[in-house]
Chains A and B, each alone.
Chain A
Amino acid sequence: MSNLIQITNGKAHISNDDWTLVKLPASQVEVRKQAGKIVLFKLTGEKTVSDEQVANTVIPSNGKVIVPLSVLIARKAELQARIDKNEVGVWLDTHEVLLPLIENQADLNRLPIIVVHVERFADGRIFSIGNLLRTRYGFKNELRAVGDVLRDQLFFLKRSGFSSFAIRADRNAVEAIASLNDFTAPYQGAVDEAQPAFRRYNRIA
């Protein structure tokens, strides 16, 4: 069964996925240490993808594909016809910066889907990335969180502009839906509801 939660017209439901997430070929990842501990989070802007990986990425010749940001940029010409047919989406990691995407794809809304991959659920950069894509760069289509996506972060992801959530495979997506509504009347304005409580309600002292 699918573990993908989608919000359409304000309603969350489990839905089947017709996109193929294209992965980069595996690379040698060296274990780094800082202050005696293994580094778990990559630095923002750190270059983690080699030209070789980009060149060797296998893109299925048919169907709807979500390609890595580095591949979209380097192999745009090859993908352009499929972009025009709305068959190409892009994914990026939380340590990647948005500017190359914005510079490469002047109209983000030509992409039917943008996916943000979060390697570890505690990486809160995903929230700022979602917020920026929606509010700064005006992205209106499906915005999906994939990776270490767990129910206790869903409320924040939704508020940061995400509209679909690929719950980690070993967890129950049906039960997770409940956490999208952990709070009914949040205080601050965010992506899903721009008005803060003090503008939404007539709060009387």
Chain B
Amino acid sequence: MYKYDEIDQKIVDERVTQYRDQTRRYLAGELSEDEFRPLRLQNGLYIQRHAPMLRIAVPYGLLSSKQLRKLGDIASKYDKAYGHFSTRQNMQLNWPKLEDVPDILADLATVQMHAIQTSGNCIRNITTDQFAGVAPDEIVDPRAMAEVIRQWSTFHPEFALLPRKFKIAVSGTKEDRAVVQAHDIGMEFYLDTNNKIAIKVWVGGGLGRTPILGTVIREHLEWQHALTYCEAIVRVYNLHGRRDNAYKARIKILVKALGIDEFKRQVEEEWSHLKDAPNTITEAELARVAKHFEPMPYEVLPQHDASFDTAIASNPAFAAWAKRSLHAHKIAGYRSVTLSLKPHGHAPGDATTEQMHIVADLADQYSFGELRVSHEQNLILADVKLSDLYAVWQKARAHGLASPNIGLLSDIICCPGGDFCSLANAKSIPIAMAIQMQFDNLDYLHDIGEIDLNISGCMNACGHHHVGHIGILGIDKDGSEWYQVTIGGSQGNNASIGSVIGPSFSADEMPNVVQKLIDVYIKERNAEERFIDTVRRIGVTPFKTHVYADKTVAKNEVPA
């Protein structure tokens, strides 16, 4: 993974000094609330319901074991000994003290980490595929370019105070796992007809209040121009994005208002001046950064491992876990392992200090000392030998990290919601837990098969509810919490935004609503058909009819 040189280290060290002074001035009354707000937000610090929340950057989801161990230490030293992994592949602390944040940042800087631009109206953490570099369907390893873009976006002076937040995702696989179409800019790397790395650029995607999938603004961009082309896009946005209304301030609204043709014309006009400027990426720089992402020193192994095959055959629990948790690897004899942070009845994405230390140990022992955070809020050991999987499973299971539910209904994507977040309209974690308890039978979960259930506590959509096969959105109606349900959303190449099935539900109705949706699917599905496929084939109506049938009856019931 990328290792800091003196220049990188100096930037994070100077950030600690800068932020320490900003905090001091705020506490001394020299900075007003309004003046301090963007400063703390651009350092990931929210003022939340119970305490501040600090979002720590995990660039494109990649961590070393040393970094994860430090995150665990920080969670225990400054917080309640757990952290929450988010859908932007970051880690959040729910209970730090505002006064402690400069010290937390100083601790993070010792392991080449920071909280820069994890919130606020600026370019946020660059995200990508959690299987980058190891996925068999990968065409271009996106990590070096992600790092080049990270450095460019860090304290970019022109884009320090944009109309609204700005998210960039990159991907280099056949099957998109980075949801590039749901980002302000999505970059899809591919090899062009000259076998050179090229970029298909998407713009104006985003979830939130107005979910829109991105539009292709450029089919072919040579990789050298990635930064200057982004500068052209973000400049047009910075100057013309709507600052008068926070709900209409994202780039997607500007793109829609101008139309893609006019927006593209303006971007290309800007770019005609920026093209070939010094920010054009050099071969030498890409090569320097790419050196940090060279393949691991893999052993030459056969496709199969007898001990693994025996364990699968003789241990159903291990087999059930392996079926859900292993991902194909481009090197023979290796697998990527997803460690579930979704045990039933726990807050999705949370990990304790002890679990972080255990995962760091597993990474050291079995996966070259590195791991990844997925946007589905799980942790990944990317490079495990088949012969080590049983040992990994045993240790992971002993520490609650081996729920065999990856990709299944209970592998819920969920934001912190109303329990923690001051933006939320409704709680999300208790809904997730209630659904997990409703579907607590493993055989049944496997029978239901692959399904994405995503929950957001408000329309800011941190839980990506629009692209869940089932999406649940917390809303506020006259001061009480209600839940709106969508179906048919999807991430990936064939991304779609879900359709609302009808009027919203109360919290205690939710497990039963999900149950009814699943019942319709089980009844209607063809062989090998996933939930999303059935929804696409038969449409929303049969689901809607079944879910609301009882509701009408219930409403008509006259109390005795």
Residues of chain A at the chain B interface (Cβ within 8 Å): 32, 34-35, 37, 39-44, 121-125, 127-129, 131, 135-136, 150, 152-153, 155-160, 179, 182-191, 194-199, 201, 203-205
- A187 and B285 CA atoms in complex are apart in Å by 12
B290: nearest residue on chain A (CB-CB)? A205
Can you offer 13 A-B residue contacts whose CB atoms are under 8 A? Answer: A35-B246, A43-B242, A125-B243, A127-B238, A131-B158, A136-B273, A150-B35, A156-B157, A186-B11, A187-B154, A197-B7, A203-B7, A205-B289
Contact of A183 with B14 in the complex, beta carbons under 8 Å:
yes
Q: Which residues of B contact A191 (CB under 8 A)?
A: 157
**Chain A at the B interface: SS class:** loop
Q: Of the candidates B151, B239, B291, which one forms a contact with A125 in the assembled complex, judged by CB atoms under 8 Å apart?
A: B239
Stretch at the interface among B93-101, B274-282, B313-321, B384-392: B274-282
- A179 and B11 CA atoms in complex are apart in Å by 14
- A41 and B121 CA atoms in complex are apart in Å by 15
Residues of chain B at the chain A interface (Cβ within 8 Å): 5, 7, 10-11, 14-15, 18, 22, 31, 35, 38-39, 121, 151-163, 227, 235, 238-240, 242-248, 273, 277-279, 281-282, 284-285, 287-289, 291-292
Given the known interface contacts A34-B244, A183-B14, A205-B289, the answer about A189 and B277 at a Cβ–Cβ threshold of 8 Å is yes
Number of A-B contacts (CB under 8 A): 138
A64 to chain B, nearest CB (A): 29
Q: Which residues of B contact A186 (CB under 8 A)?
A: 11, 155, 157
Contact of A198 with B282 in the complex, beta carbons under 8 Å:
yes
Contact of B11 with A127 in the complex, beta carbons under 8 Å:
no
B48 to chain A, nearest CB (A): 21
Contact of A194 with B155 in the complex, beta carbons under 8 Å:
no
Contact of B151 with A195 in the complex, beta carbons under 8 Å:
no
Q: Of the candidates B5, B11, B14, B159, which one forms a contact with A203 in the assembled complex, judged by CB atoms under 8 Å apart?
A: B5
- A186 and B244 CA atoms in complex are apart in Å by 31
B238: nearest residue on chain A (CB-CB)? A128
B35: nearest residue on chain A (CB-CB)? A150
Contact of A194 with B278 in the complex, beta carbons under 8 Å:
yes
Contact of A124 with B238 in the complex, beta carbons under 8 Å:
yes
Contact of B158 with A42 in the complex, beta carbons under 8 Å:
no
Given the known interface contacts A122-B121, A184-B10, the answer about A196 and B152 at a Cβ–Cβ threshold of 8 Å is yes
Q: Which residues of A contact B10 (CB under 8 A)?
A: 184-185
Contact of A35 with B35 in the complex, beta carbons under 8 Å:
no
- A205 and B147 CA atoms in complex are apart in Å by 13
A35 to chain B, nearest CB (A): 5
Contact of A198 with B285 in the complex, beta carbons under 8 Å:
yes
- A187 and B11 CA atoms in complex are apart in Å by 9
Contact of A128 with B288 in the complex, beta carbons under 8 Å:
no
Q: Which residues of A contact B18 (CB under 8 A)?
A: 179, 182-183
Q: Of the candidates A158, A187, A199, A203, which one forms a contact with B155 in the assembled complex, judged by CB atoms under 8 Å apart?
A: A187
- A35 and B152 CA atoms in complex are apart in Å by 34
Contact of A34 with B157 in the complex, beta carbons under 8 Å:
no
A125 to chain B, nearest CB (A): 6
- A75 and B18 CA atoms in complex are apart in Å by 45
Q: Which residues of B contact A122 (CB under 8 A)?
A: 38, 121, 161
A152: nearest residue on chain B (CB-CB)? B39
- A153 and B161 CA atoms in complex are apart in Å by 9
Q: Which residues of A contact B247 (CB under 8 A)?
A: 35
Q: Of the candidates A123, A203, A205, which one forms a contact with B161 in the assembled complex, judged by CB atoms under 8 Å apart?
A: A123
Q: Which residues of A contact B227 (CB under 8 A)?
A: 188
Contact of B151 with A124 in the complex, beta carbons under 8 Å:
no
B282: nearest residue on chain A (CB-CB)? A198
Given the known interface contacts A122-B161, A183-B11, A189-B277, the answer about A43 and B288 at a Cβ–Cβ threshold of 8 Å is no
Contact of A185 with B244 in the complex, beta carbons under 8 Å:
no
- A121 and B35 CA atoms in complex are apart in Å by 8
B161: nearest residue on chain A (CB-CB)? A124
Q: Which residues of B contact A183 (CB under 8 A)?
A: 11, 14-15, 18, 155
B39: nearest residue on chain A (CB-CB)? A152
- A99 and B152 CA atoms in complex are apart in Å by 28
Contact of A189 with B289 in the complex, beta carbons under 8 Å:
no
Contact of A195 with B158 in the complex, beta carbons under 8 Å:
no
Q: Of the candidates A34, A128, A182, A201, which one forms a contact with B158 in the assembled complex, judged by CB atoms under 8 Å apart?
A: A128
Contact of B243 with A43 in the complex, beta carbons under 8 Å:
yes
Q: Which residues of A contact B240 (CB under 8 A)?
A: 44
Known: A35-B247, A159-B157; 8 extra A-B contacts, CB below 8 A, are A39-B244, A123-B161, A124-B121, A156-B160, A160-B158, A184-B14, A185-B10, A205-B289
Contact of B151 with A188 in the complex, beta carbons under 8 Å:
yes
Given the known interface contacts A35-B245, A185-B7, A190-B158, the answer about A196 and B279 at a Cβ–Cβ threshold of 8 Å is yes
Given the known interface contacts A34-B244, A35-B246, A189-B278, the answer about A204 and B155 at a Cβ–Cβ threshold of 8 Å is no
B113 to chain A, nearest CB (A): 17
Contact of A196 with B7 in the complex, beta carbons under 8 Å:
no
B558 to chain A, nearest CB (A): 40
Q: Of the candidates B161, B282, B292, which one forms a contact with A127 in the assembled complex, judged by CB atoms under 8 Å apart?
A: B161
Contact of B244 with A152 in the complex, beta carbons under 8 Å:
no
A32: nearest residue on chain B (CB-CB)? B244
Q: Which residues of A contact B157 (CB under 8 A)?
A: 127, 155-160, 186, 188, 190-191
Given the known interface contacts A128-B235, A198-B282, the answer about A42 and B244 at a Cβ–Cβ threshold of 8 Å is yes
- A203 and B148 CA atoms in complex are apart in Å by 13
- A37 and B156 CA atoms in complex are apart in Å by 29
- A37 and B14 CA atoms in complex are apart in Å by 37
Q: Which residues of A contact B153 (CB under 8 A)?
A: 188
Contact of B162 with A188 in the complex, beta carbons under 8 Å:
no
A97: nearest residue on chain B (CB-CB)? B239
- A40 and B152 CA atoms in complex are apart in Å by 30
Q: Which residues of A contact B156 (CB under 8 A)?
A: 188, 190
A98: nearest residue on chain B (CB-CB)? B239
Q: Which of B121, B152, B289 has the most CB of A within 10 A?
A: B152
- A123 and B244 CA atoms in complex are apart in Å by 11
Contact of A201 with B160 in the complex, beta carbons under 8 Å:
no
A187 to chain B, nearest CB (A): 4
Q: Which residues of B contact A129 (CB under 8 A)?
A: 239
Q: Of the candidates A152, A153, A187, A195, which one forms a contact with B152 in the assembled complex, judged by CB atoms under 8 Å apart?
A: A187
B5: nearest residue on chain A (CB-CB)? A203
- A156 and B159 CA atoms in complex are apart in Å by 9
B383 to chain A, nearest CB (A): 21
B442 to chain A, nearest CB (A): 46
Q: Which residues of B contact A135 (CB under 8 A)?
A: 273
Contact of B288 with A198 in the complex, beta carbons under 8 Å:
yes
Contact of A188 with B279 in the complex, beta carbons under 8 Å:
yes
